[in-house]
A and B are shown apart, each in its own frame.
Chain A
Amino acid sequence: MSTGKDTVVPSGTTGGPGASLPPVPPDRVPDATRDSTSKNYSEYGVAVLLLALGVWAITDAMSLTDLASSKGPVGAKTVPMLVGGLLVLMAILLAVDIARGGRGEQEGGEDVDLSHGSDWRTIGLLAGAFVANALLIERIGWPLSGAILFFGTTYALGSRHYVRNAIISLVMSVGSWYLFYAGLGIKLPVGLLKGIL
C-alpha cells in the first residue's frame, strides 16, 4: 500500500515527528471509572429505545384499518402489534436484567481495544465526513464528495499525511466513478467536474 509510518496501527505509538498522532490526546482518554458508572444509566437507554420503538409500532398499527374482505383476526395490524408487544416486553425484561446487574457485552474484534471508553471525538469527525458526503454528493458530484469522505475518515482515524491522503482520496473517488460509469453502467453524480471526466 504505502511506505508510510502508519502501517499497522494508525495511532503512532512512538510520537516522533512525522509519526501519526493518536486520534485522541492522552489527557482526553475517557476515565474508565467514570465510564463504568455512567454506563449503568446508559444501559437503561437501550430499554427506553426498545420501549419507544414498541410504542411506535403499536400506535402506528392502531391507525391501520383492516379491509372488510379480510377474514378472521389477522390483518395489516396484527404483526405490527405483535412486534410492538415483543419490543415492549423486551424493554421491560431488559430493564429488570440491568437492575439485577446484567450488562450488555461489548463486541470485541481485531482492531478493537475495549480497555478505554468510546472515543466520541473520532466518531463525531467520522459522522461529519459522512454527512458532508450526503449533503454534497448531488451538488458537487461523487468525484469530489467521495474524496472529502475518504480524506475526512483518514483524518478522523488519526492519519496526518495530508498530501498523500488527499492524492489517495482523489484517486479512489475518480477511479470508482469511472469504474461504476464505464464498467458497470451506473452513473454516480458527476457534479462540478461535468465535462472534465
Chain B
Amino acid sequence: MDGINSLIEGFGTALTPINLLYAFLGVLLGTAIGVLPGIGPAMTIALLLPLTYTLEPTQAFIMFAGIYYGGMYGGSTTSILLNTPGESASVITAIEGNLMAKKGRAAAALATAAIGSFIAGTIGTLGLALLAPVIVKLAVQMGAPDYFAVMVLAFIAVTTVLGSSKVRGLASLGIGLLIGLVGIDPTSGQQRLTLGIPELADGIDVVVVAVGLFAVGEALWVAAHLRRSPLEIVKFDGASMNRKDWSRSWKPWLRGTAIGFPFGAVPAGGAEIPTFLSYAMEKKLTKHPEEFGKGAIEGVAGPEATNNASAAGGLVPLLTLGIPTTATAAIMLGAFQSYGIQPGPRLLDTQPELVWGLIASLFIGNTILLALNLPLAGVWAKLLRIPRPYLYAGILFFASIGAYAANNSTFDLWLLIIIGALGFFMRRYGLPVVPAIIAIILGPVAEEQMRRALQISNGELSGLYNTAFSQVVYVVIALLLVVPPVVRAVRKRRGGDSDNGPHGLVVDDQPLHAHANQEGL
C-alpha cells in the first residue's frame, strides 16, 4: 500500500495554507470559467495557463487540479441549465438534466450532478492513487516499442472514436502531427518546417497552440454564427434534493463511477462512450422507465458520475505513461512539458512531491467544489447571462495576454491568429479539434520513442513490434479499426437501421456525433 503512504505525504504538501489557497483559487476560477457558455475544461485550462507562468511547478499543478475538476463541473451546470451542452462528455447529462430543469427540478438535477461528481471524483482519485504505483511498476519495464505502440493506440482511438468521419479525424491528426514537427529536430539538430523564421526554431509554444485552437478558433466560429434568438435559461433557486432523489441517485452514482474510471484509465477514448453506456444502463435498470426522456434523475446522476470518474481515470495514463486521452489531459501534458517535466513512469520517483501533492489536491479540490457548488449554484447560473459581446471579447482578450506573455513577443500573437483561423476552418468543415491537439503534444514524444526503438534494433523495422506487449497493442488497434465497420455492415445487411451515427451510439434518435467535436472546448 505504498500508494496510501505517499498520498498521506501528498496531503502534507497540499494542506499548507498557501497551497490550499491555490487549490481554492483553481476550483473557483475553473468553475467560474467552465460555467461560461462555450467554454469547456480544455479551454478553461488553456486560458488559465498564463496565471501559473511564475508559480513553482508544485503550486501550479495544485492549481490545475482545482481547475480540472472545477471546469468539468462548470460544464455540466451549463448543460443542465441551457439546452445544449458545451462538451461531449456532458451531452448525455444535458438530455435528462435539461428536461428535469424544464419541469422545475433544476435544483435536484444540479444537486445530483454536484454530489455525484463529488462521489465519483473522490472514488476515482482514490483509484488513481492506488493504481498509479502499480502501473508505474509495470511501466518501468516498458521499452520504446511499447510506448510507441500505446501512443499509436491513443492516436487511432481518438480519431476513430470521436467524430463522424474517420477521414476528417485522420486529416486533423495529420495537421496536428505537422504542427508538432515545427522546430529543431532534437536528434540531428536540424530545423524542420520553420521556413527560416528564428522564432519557430524552438517549436510552437503549447499555450499558443491550445489557446489558438480552442479559444480563438472557437470565438471566431461562434462570432460568425452568433445565435440571434435568446437562449432559454431555466430559473431555479439553489441546488438541493429530497429523500426520494437521494434514494434514486446513489446507485447510479456508484455504477457510473465503476463504468467511468476504467474507461478513463485505458489510453483510448475519453468520456463520451462511458457516459452513453451509463445512460443506457440506468435506463434499463430504473424503476421509473416512464420518466426517461422526460427528465429522469437517474439519467443525470449516472452519466455525471461517469464523466467525473473518467476524468480521474484519465490522469492514470497521463501521470504514469505521459499519454493524454482527452484534450484537457493533452493541455495538462503540455503544461508539464513547459516546466521541463516529462510525465512517465519515472515521474513518481523524480517528482513525488509534485505528483502526490497533485493527487491530494484533487481530493481537496473535489471537496471545495462540493462546498462551493451546492450553495453557489444560483450565482454560477447568473454567469450564463453574461452578454455575449463581453464573453467573446474576454476570451480573445485573455487569449492574447496568454499568447503574448508566453515569450513576450508579438510573433506569438501573429501565430495565434493563424492557428485561430485554422481552428475556425476545422470547425467549419467538420475536422475534429481533439485529434489535432493530442497529436501536436504527443507527436514529438512518439517520434522520439519510435526513433529510439529503431536505434536499438539497428534500424530493423521489427524493432517496433518485437515485444509481446506492443504486439498485443497492435492487435487492439487492428480490432478498433476493423470491428466497428464490420458490425455496421452486418447490421445493414440484417436490414436494421443502418445510419446509426458513428458506432450506433444513438440516444432517443439523437445522434451523438453532432457534438463529438466539442470535447473539451
CB distance from B211 to the nearest CB of A (A): 12
When A105-B513, A107-B427 are in contact, do A130 and B187 touch as well, CB less than 8 Å? no
Q: Is the CB of A60 within 8 A of B192?
A: yes
Question: Whole-angstrom distance between the alpha carbons of A4 and B408 in the complex?
Answer: 36
Of residues 181 through 237 on chain B, the ones whose CB sits less than 8 Å from some CB of chain A are: 181, 185, 187-188, 190, 192-193, 216, 218-231, 233
Give the residues in chain A near B392, CB-CB below 8 Å. Answer: 153, 157
Question: Whole-angstrom distance between the alpha carbons of A188 and B397 in the complex?
Answer: 13
Which candidate, B15-23, B160-168, B339-347, B489-497, is the interface stretch facing chain A? B160-168
CB-nearest residue of chain A to B228: A11
Give the residues in chain A near B178, CB-CB below 8 Å. Answer: 53, 57, 83-84, 87
Q: Is the CB of B397 within 8 A of A126?
A: no
Q: Is the CB of B231 within 8 A of A79?
A: no
Quick one: which of B85, B168, B513 contacts A104, CB cutoff 8 A? B168
Quick one: which of A86, A104, A188 contacts B404, CB cutoff 8 A? A188
Give the residues in chain B near A176, CB-CB below 8 Å. Answer: 397-398, 401
When A60-B193, A110-B78, A146-B397 are in contact, do A1 and B390 touch as well, CB less than 8 Å? yes
Q: Is the CB of B188 within 8 A of A105?
A: no
In the complex, per-residue mask of B386-427: 1 if CB is within 8 Å of any chain A CB, else 0: 111110111011101100110010100110010010001101
Q: Is the CB of B223 within 8 A of A123?
A: yes
Quick one: which of A1, A11, A104, A123 contacts B386, CB cutoff 8 A? A1
Give the residues in chain B near A129, CB-CB below 8 Å. Answer: 396
CB-nearest residue of chain A to B393: A153
Q: Is the CB of B223 within 8 A of A126?
A: yes
- A196 located at the interface, meaning its Cβ lies under 8 Å from any Cβ of chain B in the complex: no
Q: Is the CB of B170 within 8 A of A131?
A: no
CB-nearest residue of chain B to A116: B225
CB distance from B380 to the nearest CB of A (A): 14
Question: Whole-angstrom distance between the alpha carbons of A67 and B185 in the complex?
Answer: 12
- Tell me the interface secondary structure of chain B in the complex: helix
Question: Whole-angstrom distance between the alpha carbons of A70 and B459 in the complex?
Answer: 9
Question: Whole-angstrom distance between the alpha carbons of A12 and B187 in the complex?
Answer: 57
CB-nearest residue of chain B to A129: B396
CB distance from A115 to the nearest CB of B (A): 9
Q: Is the CB of B230 within 8 A of A104?
A: no
Which candidate, B102-110, B318-326, B357-365, B446-454, is the interface stretch facing chain A? B446-454
Give the residues in chain B near A1, CB-CB below 8 Å. Answer: 385-387, 390
- A120 located at the interface, meaning its Cβ lies under 8 Å from any Cβ of chain B in the complex: yes
Give the residues in chain B near A67, CB-CB below 8 Å. Answer: 188
When A65-B190, A103-B430, A105-B165 are in contact, do A111 and B37 touch as well, CB less than 8 Å? yes
When A70-B188, A71-B455, A106-B428 are in contact, do A97 and B397 touch as well, CB less than 8 Å? no
Among B218, B430, B458, the most chain A Cβ lie within 10 Å of the Cβ of B430
CB-nearest residue of chain A to B180: A83
Q: Is the CB of B225 within 8 A of A157?
A: no
Question: Whole-angstrom distance between the alpha carbons of A138 and B413 in the complex?
Answer: 12
Give the residues in chain B near A64, CB-CB below 8 Å. Answer: 185, 188, 190, 192
CB distance from A68 to the nearest CB of B (A): 11
Quick one: which of A76, A137, A157 contacts B389, CB cutoff 8 A? A157
- B376 located at the interface, meaning its Cβ lies under 8 Å from any Cβ of chain A in the complex: no
- A190 located at the interface, meaning its Cβ lies under 8 Å from any Cβ of chain B in the complex: no
When A60-B193, A112-B221, A188-B405 are in contact, do A104 and B226 touch as well, CB less than 8 Å? no
When A97-B165, A172-B397 are in contact, do A80 and B86 touch as well, CB less than 8 Å? no
Q: Is the CB of A90 within 8 A of B174?
A: yes
Quick one: which of A76, A87, A107 contacts B192, CB cutoff 8 A? A76
When A71-B455, A71-B458, A159-B389 are in contact, do A107 and B430 touch as well, CB less than 8 Å? yes
Question: Whole-angstrom distance between the alpha carbons of A105 and B514 in the complex?
Answer: 8
In the complex, per-residue mask of A61-93: 1 if CB is within 8 Å of any chain B CB, else 0: 100111100111111101110011011001101
- Chain B contact residue count (CB 8 A cutoff): 90
Give the residues in chain B near A187, CB-CB below 8 Å. Answer: 408
Q: Is the CB of B225 within 8 A of A137?
A: no
In the complex, per-residue mask of B9-27: 1 if CB is within 8 Å of any chain A CB, else 0: 0000000000000000000
Among B167, B428, B457, the most chain A Cβ lie within 10 Å of the Cβ of B167
When A86-B177, A90-B170, A90-B174 are in contact, do A113 and B429 touch as well, CB less than 8 Å? no
Give the residues in chain B near A192, CB-CB below 8 Å. Answer: none
Question: Whole-angstrom distance between the alpha carbons of A7 and B521 in the complex?
Answer: 23
CB distance from B428 to the nearest CB of A (A): 6
Q: Is the CB of A111 within 8 A of B187?
A: no
Quick one: which of B86, B400, B459 contacts A149, CB cutoff 8 A? B400
Question: Whole-angstrom distance between the alpha carbons of A54 and B459 in the complex?
Answer: 25
- B171 located at the interface, meaning its Cβ lies under 8 Å from any Cβ of chain A in the complex: yes
Q: Is the CB of A75 within 8 A of B188?
A: yes
CB-nearest residue of chain A to B430: A104
Q: Is the CB of B233 within 8 A of A83?
A: no
- B131 located at the interface, meaning its Cβ lies under 8 Å from any Cβ of chain A in the complex: no
CB distance from A23 to the nearest CB of B (A): 6
CB-nearest residue of chain A to B193: A60
CB distance from A143 to the nearest CB of B (A): 12
CB-nearest residue of chain A to B396: A153
- A162 located at the interface, meaning its Cβ lies under 8 Å from any Cβ of chain B in the complex: no
Question: Whole-angstrom distance between the alpha carbons of A130 and B222 in the complex?
Answer: 16
Q: Is the CB of B396 within 8 A of A149?
A: yes
- Write the residues of chain B forming the contact surface with A, with a CB cutoff of 8 angstroms: 37-38, 50-51, 53-54, 78, 82, 84-86, 164-165, 167-168, 170-171, 173-175, 177-178, 181, 185, 187-188, 190, 192-193, 216, 218-231, 233, 385-390, 392-394, 396-398, 400-401, 404-405, 408, 410, 413-414, 417, 420, 424-425, 427-431, 447, 450-451, 454-455, 457-461, 513-515, 517-518, 521
Starting from the known contacts A73-B454, A123-B223, 15 additional A-B residue pairs (CB-CB under 8 Å) come to A57-B193, A66-B188, A76-B190, A80-B181, A86-B170, A86-B177, A87-B175, A94-B167, A104-B165, A109-B222, A111-B226, A113-B228, A150-B396, A186-B405, A188-B405
Q: Which 7 A-B pairs have the closest CB atoms?
A: A72-B459, A104-B430, A153-B393, A104-B429, A159-B389, A157-B389, A105-B430
